[in-house]
Amino acid sequence: MRTGYKIIIKKKYFEVLKIAESSHNFPVHIHKKMCAGRMDSGEKHLSVNGKISILKKNDLFFIPPYLPHASYVKDGKTAGYTIICFDDIEKTSEKMIVNDLPFSSSEMNSIRSLYRFAIMKAGNYDNSDIMINKLVKYIDENCSEQLSTDSLAAVIGLNPYYLLHLFKEKIGISLHQYIIQARIKKSKEYFLSEKSILDIALDSGFYDQSHYIRNFKRHVGITPQRYFESITVI
């Protein structure tokens, strides 16, 4: 398994990433961010709601926040792609993205087209489940704590057993899986600090360093150390 992972630019409301020669298979997961991507090379299978799309070079794809999906490559092959992930697409302009990208003019035109594709797709997306959004926001903000099903059920006033069923139905992954993903995302906030990997793991809510590294690599495709080394601050 190999993955060339590079954060090209990271800003307040968005980030641009390039993944090259990736053979990693990502299990079912969700993103808090809205993501739009373009295939640069190879072939990738994207599974959403039981439907599998085969993405090839120059194909565009869009993944709204909280949509369960999985992706994989076949037969040990690799795929490369460029992704823009938005924390807030309404506060991100085309100029903000292309002005800072260290690309050629042709590549910037491609990124510009990808941004316009994301704007178009975002206009058709409506995440109206207020109850689950409230819970997801709470988990994101408190994931470093030892969250229990009972305490989370109390946040939105539901029976704990019903919460587990509802969360899986609405989000597509279990409550436990989402908490793990939230902790991985939280850990990335510490990567530019002077914290050790062990401290990052514990401060993000993981039991120990090995538990953290194992889950990070499973969901991101590379180790925390390699991810940290890929960050380019602009």
Q: Given this model, what pLDDT does residue 195 score?
A: 87
Q: What is the pTM of this model?
A: 0.60
Residue of 143 and 3 predicted with greater confidence: 143
Domains belonging to the chain, first-starting first, are 4-122 (2.60.120.10), 130-230 (1.10.10.60)
pLDDT in tens, 60-93: 999 988 778 899 998 878 999 999 999 888 888 8
pLDDT band at 227 (very low <50, low <70, confident <90, very high): confident
**Residue positions counted in the chain:** 234
Question: What does the alpha-carbon distance between residue 173 and residue 166 come to, in Å, rounded to a whole number?
Answer: 10
**Tokens 């019903």 belong to which residue?**
162
Q: Given this model, what pLDDT does residue 39 score?
A: 95
pLDDT band at 147 (very low <50, low <70, confident <90, very high): very high
Residue 138: name the closest of 161, 162, 158, 165 by CA.
158
Residue 44: name the closest of 6, 86, 82 by CA.
82
What is the residue type of 37?
G
pLDDT in tens, 10-45: 888 898 888 888 888 888 888 878 899 999 999 999
Gyration radius of the chain over CA positions: 18
Evaluate whether 226 touches 215 at the Cβ level (below 8 Å): no
Residue 53 has pLDDT above 90, yes or no: yes
pLDDT in tens, 188-212: 888 878 889 999 999 999 999 999 9
3-state secondary structure of 49: coil
Question: What does the alpha-carbon distance between residue 167 and residue 154 come to, in Å, rounded to a whole number?
Answer: 14
Mean pLDDT of 111-119: 91
C-beta atoms surrounding 120 within 10 Å: 11
